[in-house]
Amino acid sequence: MTAIAPRREDDSLQLKPRRDPFLIILWIILVTFALVWIAPVVLIAFTALKSNAEVMATSAFTPPQEIAWNNFSGAWARGNFETTFKNSVIITVIKVPLGLMFSAMAAYALARIRLRFGKLLLLFFLFGAMIPFQVMLAPIFTLVNGFGLIDTYPGVILPYLAFGVPYQVFILHGFFKAVPKELSEAALIDGASHVTVFRRIFLPISLPVLAALLILDFVSTWNEFAMALVLLQDRHMWTLPLGLMSFQGQFSTDYGQLNAAIAMTVFPAVLVYMIFQRYFVSGLTSGAVKG
């Protein structure tokens, strides 16, 4: 035992902890990236609070001298936000939970129920995530038009679901596969059906993943532009990102109002993020099985 006792002179040398140069570099990179990401947010916030004249006169990163709150009311009216906001909310609130539910159920079945063509089915789902949706825009339009669903909520929700499910199934399948199989076996022996196992065991322990997917899906659905542009022709059916187009005139652009509109568009996504990020707690399965 005495042979491995630390020597005293080593202790005195170790008083000041040495910083790992790798960590320092990592921090520098992190701060740089953070600045790059924060800059546009600051730009939007400042510009949204400036009058158009002040936008033209001052630099982009100068804080506003006189706060122009009327940008927001102006933007609300000009962007027809009453309608577009409502449309966005309806589409997102239906699509996001519905899509997550489908994905979770499909992922559970693929991960935990022995199916004859399970692997093939999973591959089929994954294939859906590999096709760039731009390629599909024209066929989707034809299809949705064929069903007579152009300018309707189902006409845009259904394609959204189809494009959202594959990557969610992929992620949830991976997560469910990693859940110890004894956990579902114990529940099956306890008399649970697969529906009960899914609802009572798998959903509660996958809350962190579901919260992450919900945030990602909310943001991407809320901000989706291209498909909405193709499928929603009637102004009364437009979503928020389409409404933003009203601020880009051919000869003039009101930057103050445009940025106020962007700020209002982004706000709900930030809110959802803040509500659900508390579910990002690790170790929800800790204590289930030894390991």
Partner 1 sequence: MATVQVSDLRKSFGALEVVKGVSIDIRDGEFLILVGPSGCGKSTLLRMIAGLEDISAGRIDIGGRVVNTLSPKERNIAMVFQNYALYPQMTVGQNMGFSLEISGMKKAEIDKKVSEASEILGLTPLLQRKPSQLSGGQRQRVAMGRAIVRDPDVFLFDEPLSNLDAKLRVQMRAEIKALHQRLGSTIVYVTHDQVEAMTMADRIVVLRGGCVEQIGTPLELYDHPENMFVAGFLGSPSMNFLRGRIEGQSLLLAGGERLALPSLPKAASGGDVVVGIRPQGFAAGLQDGARATIKVVEPTGADTHVLADIGGTEITCVVNDRVDFAPGQEIRLSITSAKVHFFDPASEARLD
Check: CB of residue 83 under 8 Å from CB of residue 234. Answer: no
**Residue 289 engages partner 1 in binding (rule: CB under 8 A):** yes
**Residue 285 engages partner 1 in binding (rule: CB under 8 A):** yes
- Closest to partner 1 by CB, 104 vs 201, is 201
Q: Which listed residue (180, 236, 267, 274) binds partner 1 by CB under 8 A? A: 180
Least distance to partner 1, CB of residue 192, Å: 5
Q: Which listed residue (121, 188, 230, 266) binds partner 1 by CB under 8 A? A: 188
**Residue 200 engages partner 1 in binding (rule: CB under 8 A):** yes
In one-letter notation, the amino acid at residue 181 is K
- Span from 48-56, 99-107, 131-139, 183-191 in contact with partner 1 (CB under 8 A): 183-191
C-alpha distance from residue 254 to each of 250, 257, 288 (Å): 11, 6, 57
Residues 201-220 that bind partner 1 (CB under 8 A): 201, 204-205
**Residue 118 engages partner 1 in binding (rule: CB under 8 A):** no
Least distance to partner 1, CB of residue 200, Å: 8
Check: CB of residue 196 under 8 Å from CB of residue 187. Answer: yes
**Residue 283 engages partner 1 in binding (rule: CB under 8 A):** yes
- Span from 4-12, 26-34, 133-141, 282-290 in contact with partner 1 (CB under 8 A): 282-290
Q: Which listed residue (17, 132, 139, 191) binds partner 1 by CB under 8 A? A: 191
**Residue 190 engages partner 1 in binding (rule: CB under 8 A):** yes
**Residue 82 engages partner 1 in binding (rule: CB under 8 A):** no
DSSP track, 93-157: HHHHHHHHHHHHHHHHHHHHS--TTHHHHHHHHHHHHHS-HHHHHHHHHHHHHHTT-TTSHHHHH
Please report, as ranges, the residues that interact with partner 1 according to CB under 8 A.
180, 182-183, 185-192, 196, 200-201, 204-205, 283-291
